[in-house]
Chains A and B, each alone.
Chain A
Amino acid sequence: MPTIKVDNQKLVVKDGDNLLQALLSAGIDIPYFCWHPAMGSIGACRQCAVVQYAGEDDTRGRIVMSCMTAVTDQARFSVATQSADQFRKSVIENLMLNHPHDCPVCEEGGECHLQDMTVMSGHSVRHYEGKKTTYRNQYLGPFIGHEMNRCITCYRCVRYYQDHAGGHDLNAFGSRDRVFFGRVESGLLESEFAGNLVEVCPTGVFTDKTFSKHYTRKWDLQSSPTICQGCSLGCNTYTSERYGQLRRVQNRYHHQVNGYFLCDRGRFGAQFVNAESRIRQAGIRNSQGLYDATELKTAIGIARSIISNASTIKGIGSPRASLESNQALRELVGQNNYSNGMTEVEQAMLQKIIDVLRSPIPTPSMMQTEQCDAVLVLGEDVTNFAPRLALSLRQATQNRAKTLALGVHIPLWHDAAVREIGQTDRSPLVIVTPTEDRLDEVASHVLRLAPDNIALLGDEICHAIKDEDNGTASDNVSSVAREIAGLLKQATKPLIVAGTSLQHPGILQAALNIAITLNQQNISAGFFACASESNSLGVAMLDNQHSISDIMAEQPETLVVLENDLQRRLGDRFDASLAGIKHLIVLDHLDNPTVSVSTLVLPAATFAEAEGTYVNNEGRAQRSFATFNPAGDITPSYELLDQLRSVKRHIDEIHHVIANSIPTLAGIVAAAPAASFRIEGAKIARMTHRASGRTAIDANISVHEPTPPMDDDSPLVYSMEGQHEQAPANLRAYSWAPGWNSNQSNHKFQQEVGGSERTGDPGILVLTGGGEIKTGDVTLTHRRLVPELHIFGSDELTNSAADLATLVTAPYLRMHGTTAQSLGVVQDDGVSFEVNKQRFSFAVIVDDSMPADSLAYPLIPATVVLTNLDDIQLSKAESWTKAPASGQRMITTDRSQ
C-alpha cells in the first residue's frame, strides 16, 4: 500500500486507486463532476485539480487532475494550496458561465451536486457579462425530463448511457461550447436503465418526470430504506413520500446487490402505490356482485365469524408479500392448510435454487457477477426478468478489456483508455434463449432455441465438460456445446445464469448440472439464479409444502388469499378453480381478478406502508421499512391476519416466531436492528433535519399541530427528530452528509470509495452451510407456447404504475416465418384461438430469429389465459385490423414544443 503526502499529512492509500478516490476515501473533500465511482475517470471537467510536487524540494508544483493521477508511493500533493484552490474556483466560474440561475425552480435544487461543488469551491462572484447558451429540449418518454440549458457538459450521461448501459440513442452532438446531449429526435429513451441518468447527471438536465408530477424538495420528503418489489434481485432503494403519496424511488447503494444503479421498472414502477386501483377500504360483496365499502372493524368482525364457522379453511400466501405476512397467514390457517402461493413447478424449481444456494457451489452476488470472465445464460431473458442483472452482465463482458489494459499498465479507472484497448474484444457471454435478447449485442454466442432444446443443449454442454460423447445430440449441437464448454473451462471465474422465467425445470437442472460438473473439475464456476418475485426465495424457505393446486384440490369452503392474483398462476383454470369456494377472503392493495371474485376484501398496505422482510435470489434476507403511515384503514397484511385471529403482537415477535420454527430463516432477526434499537437514545429519522411544514401539513383540516404518527414497529420515526448520520446502512432513510446534499454523499458512508458500507452490507445471507448437491436428470416440457417477458408489463405490481403502464405492449404472437406461412398469415395480420369457449385474437409478429417450433406470447395481463397451456389451435383472424402502434413508442406530449 503506497503512502502519499497530502498537505503534509501522510496517507496510506489503496494501490491502483487514483488520487481522487484516495482523497475521498480518506475523508478529504474535493469537488468533482465527471468522475463517477462506477464509471472511472476521463479528466473532462478539471474540477478535481490539486497540485503535485516533484519532490520534497519542489515548492511550486504543477496542477494535476486528481482523478487522472495514480497514487504512487512517496508522491506529494496539496489540495489546499492557493494555486489549486484558485484553479478549482476558476473551473466552477467557467462552468457557471452558461448555467442558468434557475435553482429556485429547478428540480435538482437542494440535492444538486453542482450546487454542492460550487459552495465547496468557494466561487461566489460572477464576472461574466455575456449571454448564456440556450437549447431546445426533447421529449424523452414518460420517465425522464430534459432541460439542456442546465448542462455543464461533464459527459457523465453519455458515458453512463452508452459505455456502461450499452444504450445507443443518447449521444453528444455538436462541439465547442454548444455540445448537446440528447437523442437524434424526440422520443422514448430505449435503454431499460435510462432512469439512472437522473442520478448520474450532477445537475438538473435529466430529471425524474414521475417525480416532477408531484414534486417535493428532497429536504421535505419523508423517506425510508426499502427493498424493490419489481423482481427477485432485491435491489436496495430509498422510497420517499409527502402528503400520503409515494413521490419517488432512488437507488440505495449496496456493495453486493445493486451498486449505484437501478432498472427503470424498479425506479418508476413503485408508483403503483399511488394507483387509482388501490384498495383503500374493506369491501364486502353484495348480492349484486358489487362491493360495499365497510369499516375495517366491521369487516374484520365478519371475516372472523366466517373463519370461525368454516368447516375447512385454507390460506394461499404470496411470493410478493413479506415473510411476516406469510407467516401470519400460516399461523391463521395452520401449517397444513397453507400454501406459499406458487405452482408445483415453481415450488420445485425454487427448491432446486435453495439447494444450490446452500451447497458449496459459489453463488455470487449481483455485483460479484461483474467480475466473472465467462458467462452462460441458459433460458433467461435477463433484461426483462431480472433487469438489473443485465447491467452487471454487460460489465462482466468488459473484463477482457480490463485484462488487456492491465497488460500495458493502463490503470482500470482510466475508463476511456480501457475501452480503447478493449474495443469489441469482450469476455465470452453466451446467450441461449427462445427470443431476442437485449444482451445479444454484447454476446459472443447467441442461440435461439425452443425451451426443450435449451435444456438439451445444457445437457450436452455438461457432457462436453466431462469430455463425454452423449451420442444423442446432432453433430451441430455437440460442436456448439463443446465450444461453450471450452469457454467455461478456460475461464477463471465462469458463471452460469438460469432461473424460473420459462417455468422449465429441465433448463434449471441442466444449468445446475453444468455448474456442478465444472466445480467437480475444480473450476470455481458460479451459479446465479433468477426467481420471479421479491420474496420467492423467502416464502419457498418458509413453507414449500403445498402448491396452489394442492390447496384448490381440496375444494375448501373458505379460502384466505394474501396479496396474490391467482389468475396469473392458474390462467385458464382460474374460474373453474375458484367456483367451489364459498368464502373468499382477499387481502391486497391493488384491484385484480382475484379481488374481483372475493367475498370480502381487506385493504393491505404496500411495501411503502409496511415493514417487511424479503429474501432475494441470492438468499439475502433484507428488511424493508415503511416510508409512511397509510391513511384510513390501510393496514399491513400481517396485522390484518393477526386481527382475524384476535391476536396483537409486535412485528419483531413474528421475526422470532419464524426464526424459532424455521432454522434456515433464523438470520432474519438480524437482517436489521429491532424496534428497540437506539443511537444515543434516539431513533432514526425518516425526515431530514430541514424538513419544513410538519406542523402545518394538515392546516387545511385543522390548525392544531398534528401529532406525528407513532411507529412502534421499527427503529425509525415519522419525524425529523432523530439520528441520521450514524444510522447503520439498513436503517438510513436517505443519503445526505454535510456539504453533500445529493446522492454523491454515498462515499461518506462507505469504508472506501465504492466499497462496503462502514456499518456492513445490509441484509443477511441466510442460505449457507448446506451439503453437496448432485446433478439430476433433465426433463422436458414439450410446450410450444413460450412466454416472452417484458420489463414493462410482465410484473404484476408495477403494471399499475401510471407512467410505466403506458409502455406495456399490446398482445401478440411471435412466430417464425414458416409457422406464419403454414397459418397463411403475415406480419400485422391477426391470429385467433379459443380457450374455455372464448375466442381471442392477437397480432402476428413474424420473426425468423424464433425457433421454428415455438410460439412466443408476451407475459402481460392480456395473455394470462395462455399461462398453463402447452399449445393452442391457431387460425387466421378474419376482419383483423392492425391496431395502432402499441403504447411502446407513442409520443404524447413534448414540453419543449
Chain B
Amino acid sequence: MTQSPLTRNIQGNGPTDILAYEASGGYLAARDNIGKADPADLLQLIKDSNLLGRGGAGFPTGMKWSFVPPADGNGHRYLVANADEMEPGTFKDRLIMENDPHQLIEGMLLSAYTLAADVGYIFIRAEYHLAIARLRSAISEAEQKCYLGDRILGSKYSFHLQVHISAGRYICGEETALLNSLEGKRATPRAKPPFPQVSGLWGRPTIVNNVETLCNIPHIVNHGANWFKSLGKGDNAGTKLFGASGRVKNPGCWELPMGTSIREILEVHAGGMQDGYMLKGFLPGGASTDFLTPDHLDLPMEYEAIQKAGSRMGTGLMVVLDDRACPVGMIANLEKFFARESCGFCTPCREGLPWVQGILDKIEAGHGQAADLEVLERQALFIGAIGNTHCAHAPGAMEPLVSGLKYFRSEFEQHIHDGRCPYAGES
C-alpha cells in the first residue's frame, strides 16, 4: 500500500487517463461500493478515519457530512468540490486536478453516494484552464464508462457532475459565497446558520468540500480508517500536500505525512533558503495565516500545533519571507490583495481593509507617522475577530498584519523614523 496515495499517479509524465487510473487501482472503490455499500457505513468510515478538511479550516469531514438531513425526495441534493484555489501561495489542488483528474471524480462519486447527492459541481478557478480541460475530458471518459450519469455501474444510483468555471473572485473560495456565485448571484457569503447542509445550493442540502479532501475518500474507502490514520505522524490522520514558495532552493508541493515538521518541509523538500538569503519568517498556510518565525521550525505541520503557536496551518503551503525582502512591503502587498478581493458586503471589511492598505502603502513609501501604527492596531482589532465581520475574509486578512506588527514592529518603526523603506534597492 502506497504511503503517498494522493500523488501516486503524479510522476511528472502528464495526466493520468482513465485506463491508467484504473490500472493503478482507480475506480475500484467505486465498483465495490456504488449501489452495494450502505451509505451510512461509508459515513461512519469517514468519521472513523479522522479526515479533516484540507481547505484550511481543518473541520472533521465526517462530522460535516453528518449534518446533512436524510433525503426527503423533494429535489436535488448537491455535492460541490471547491476548486477555486485562489489563496496566494497555494497550488496543491491544481497539482491533483491537472495530473490525476479521475481521483477527484471518484472521490466526488463516493462522497455523493454517501450523501445521496445526485448533482455535483466542480467550482474551479478560471485561470486553471489546463485543469478545466483535463477535468472535462476525464468526466467525459467517466461518463462513457458509466462511472457518472444515470444508473451508475448498473445500480439505481445516478450522479451528474459538471465543471463550473469561476468568474474570478477570491471570496468564491468561501463556501457560501461560492454557492451564491454558482446560483448566479453576487458572490457574497451567507450568514450561518442555516448551514449549506440544510440550505445550500438553491436552498437544497449541499456539501462543499475542498478538492484534496475529496481525493482522500477513495483511498479511505479502499484501505480503511486505520490505514488512513496510520499515514500521519502522531495523532494525525492521513497525508497532506505541503509546499513552499519564496526564495527557497526548490519551491514546490509534496505529499507528506500530516504532522511533518516545518523544518523537514523547508530544509529537506524545499532545499533550504537560496544562497545569500536567510529565513526571516513564513506564512504557514497561505496569505491569510499569521507569520511564524525561524523559532517555530520544529513544529509539526498539523492544525493544533500551528494554532497553539498563534497561527493556522491553513492550506499547508508556506510563503517564505527572507531577510532581504521588506516585511512591510510584503504585508502591504497582501492587504492590497485582500482589500481588492473584499466582496463589499460588510462595513469592517469593505471600508476597513482599504484604509489599512492605504496606511501600509504610506509607511512603505516613507510617509508614515507614528500615529499610523495606532490606527493599524485599532483597525486590526476592529476587523480581526471572527464575528465582527460577516465572514472570515477580513479576519484572515488581519492575520499577517497582526503577526507582522508583533514580529517585525521595529521594521515598521524604522520605516516611519527614516522616512524611507530600508530595503529599497534590495532584491
- Write the residues of chain A forming the contact surface with B, with a CB cutoff of 8 angstroms: 42-47, 49, 62-64, 68, 87, 90-91, 94-95, 97-98, 127-128, 130, 152-153, 155, 172, 174-179, 404, 408-410, 414, 416-417, 420-423
A172 to B185: give the CA distance in the assembly, Å: 11
| B348 part of interface (Cβ distance < 8 Å) | yes
| B233 part of interface (Cβ distance < 8 Å) | no
How many Cβ-Cβ contacts under 8 Å join chain A to chain B? 110
Contact A176 B354 (CB under 8 A): yes
Contact A47 B347 (CB under 8 A): yes
Shortest C-beta distance, B209 to chain A (Å), equals 20
- Contact pick for A90, options B340, B341, B350, B378, CB 8 Å: B378
Contact B190 A420 (CB under 8 A): yes
Q: Across the interface, which residues of B come within 8 angstroms of A410, CB to CB? A: 193-194, 199
* Nearest-neighbor residue (CB-CB) of A33 within chain B: B347
Contact A97 B355 (CB under 8 A): yes
| B1 part of interface (Cβ distance < 8 Å) | no
Contact A43 B390 (CB under 8 A): yes
Contact A178 B351 (CB under 8 A): no
Contact A46 B346 (CB under 8 A): yes
A sample of 10 more A-B contacts (CB under 8 A), given A91-B348, A127-B375, is A44-B346, A46-B346, A46-B348, A87-B388, A98-B351, A153-B344, A175-B342, A176-B342, A177-B344, A410-B199
Q: Across the interface, which residues of A come within 8 angstroms of B354, CB to CB? A: 97, 130, 176-177
Q: Across the interface, which residues of B come within 8 angstroms of A68, CB to CB? A: 191
Q: Across the interface, which residues of B come within 8 angstroms of A408, CB to CB? A: 194, 198-199
| B339 part of interface (Cβ distance < 8 Å) | yes
| B59 part of interface (Cβ distance < 8 Å) | no
A128 to B191: give the CA distance in the assembly, Å: 29
- Contact pick for A45, options B339, B340, B347, B387, CB 8 Å: B347
A45 to B191: give the CA distance in the assembly, Å: 13
- Contact pick for B194, options A98, A130, A417, CB 8 Å: A417
A176 to B375: give the CA distance in the assembly, Å: 21
Contact (A43, B352) CB under 8 Å given A68-B191, A414-B191, A417-B190: no
Q: Across the interface, which residues of A come within 8 angstroms of B347, CB to CB? A: 44-47, 91, 94-95, 152-153
* Nearest-neighbor residue (CB-CB) of A98 within chain B: B351
- Contact pick for A175, options B169, B193, B203, CB 8 Å: B169
* Nearest-neighbor residue (CB-CB) of A68 within chain B: B191
Contact A423 B202 (CB under 8 A): yes
Q: Across the interface, which residues of B come within 8 angstroms of A62, CB to CB? A: 385, 387
Q: Across the interface, which residues of B come within 8 angstroms of A128, CB to CB? A: 355
A176 to B390: give the CA distance in the assembly, Å: 14
Q: Across the interface, which residues of B come within 8 angstroms of A155, CB to CB? A: 345
Question: 15 A-B Cβ contacts within 8 A?
Answer: A44-B346, A46-B390, A63-B387, A91-B347, A94-B352, A127-B375, A130-B358, A152-B347, A153-B347, A175-B186, A176-B340, A176-B353, A177-B354, A421-B194, A422-B203
Which 7 residue pairs of A and B lie closest in terms of their CB atoms, listed nearest first? Answer: A94-B351, A421-B203, A90-B382, A179-B344, A176-B342, A175-B344, A421-B199
A298 to B385: give the CA distance in the assembly, Å: 79
| B230 part of interface (Cβ distance < 8 Å) | no
| B389 part of interface (Cβ distance < 8 Å) | yes
Q: Across the interface, which residues of B come within 8 angstroms of A416, CB to CB? A: 190-191
| B97 part of interface (Cβ distance < 8 Å) | no
Contact A176 B339 (CB under 8 A): yes
Q: Across the interface, which residues of B come within 8 angstroms of A172, CB to CB? A: 186
Q: Across the interface, which residues of A come within 8 angstroms of B187, CB to CB? A: 175
B340-393 interface with A by 8 A CB criterion: 340-348, 350-355, 358, 371, 375, 378-379, 382, 385, 387-390
Q: Across the interface, which residues of A come within 8 angstroms of B375, CB to CB? A: 127
Contact (A46, B194) CB under 8 Å given A91-B347, A153-B344, A175-B344: no
Q: Across the interface, which residues of B come within 8 angstroms of A175, CB to CB? A: 169, 186-187, 342-344
* Nearest-neighbor residue (CB-CB) of A49 within chain B: B388
* Nearest-neighbor residue (CB-CB) of A95 within chain B: B347
Contact A97 B388 (CB under 8 A): no
* Nearest-neighbor residue (CB-CB) of A415 within chain B: B191
* Nearest-neighbor residue (CB-CB) of A417 within chain B: B194
- Flag B213-250 by CB within 8 Å of A: 1 or 0 each: 00000000000000000000000000000000000000
Q: Across the interface, which residues of B come within 8 angstroms of A420, CB to CB? A: 190, 194, 199, 203
A110 to B191: give the CA distance in the assembly, Å: 34
Q: Across the interface, which residues of B come within 8 angstroms of A42, CB to CB? A: 191
A152 to B340: give the CA distance in the assembly, Å: 18
- Contact pick for B382, options A87, A177, A178, CB 8 Å: A87
A838 to B199: give the CA distance in the assembly, Å: 64
Shortest C-beta distance, A817 to chain B (Å), equals 34
Shortest C-beta distance, B332 to chain A (Å), equals 14
Shortest C-beta distance, A874 to chain B (Å), equals 45
- Flag B187-213 by CB within 8 Å of A: 1 or 0 each: 100110110001100110000000000
Q: Across the interface, which residues of B come within 8 angstroms of A47, CB to CB? A: 347
Contact A423 B203 (CB under 8 A): yes
A68 to B350: give the CA distance in the assembly, Å: 19
Q: Across the interface, which residues of B come within 8 angstroms of A97, CB to CB? A: 351, 354-355
Contact (A94, B340) CB under 8 Å given A62-B387, A176-B354, A421-B199: no
Q: Across the interface, which residues of A come within 8 angstroms of B358, CB to CB? A: 130
Shortest C-beta distance, A120 to chain B (Å), equals 16
Shortest C-beta distance, B119 to chain A (Å), equals 15
A716 to B390: give the CA distance in the assembly, Å: 48
Shortest C-beta distance, B337 to chain A (Å), equals 11
Q: Across the interface, which residues of B come within 8 angstroms of A422, CB to CB? A: 203
Q: Across the interface, which residues of A come within 8 angstroms of B385, CB to CB? A: 62-63
Shortest C-beta distance, A179 to chain B (Å), equals 4
A178 to B388: give the CA distance in the assembly, Å: 21
A45 to B379: give the CA distance in the assembly, Å: 16
Contact A46 B389 (CB under 8 A): yes
Q: Across the interface, which residues of A come within 8 angstroms of B389, CB to CB? A: 46
Contact (A153, B350) CB under 8 Å given A94-B355, A175-B343, A417-B199: yes
* Nearest-neighbor residue (CB-CB) of B203 within chain A: A421
A127 to B352: give the CA distance in the assembly, Å: 12
Q: Across the interface, which residues of B come within 8 angstroms of A63, CB to CB? A: 385, 387-388
A63 to B390: give the CA distance in the assembly, Å: 12
A155 to B191: give the CA distance in the assembly, Å: 15
A129 to B251: give the CA distance in the assembly, Å: 40
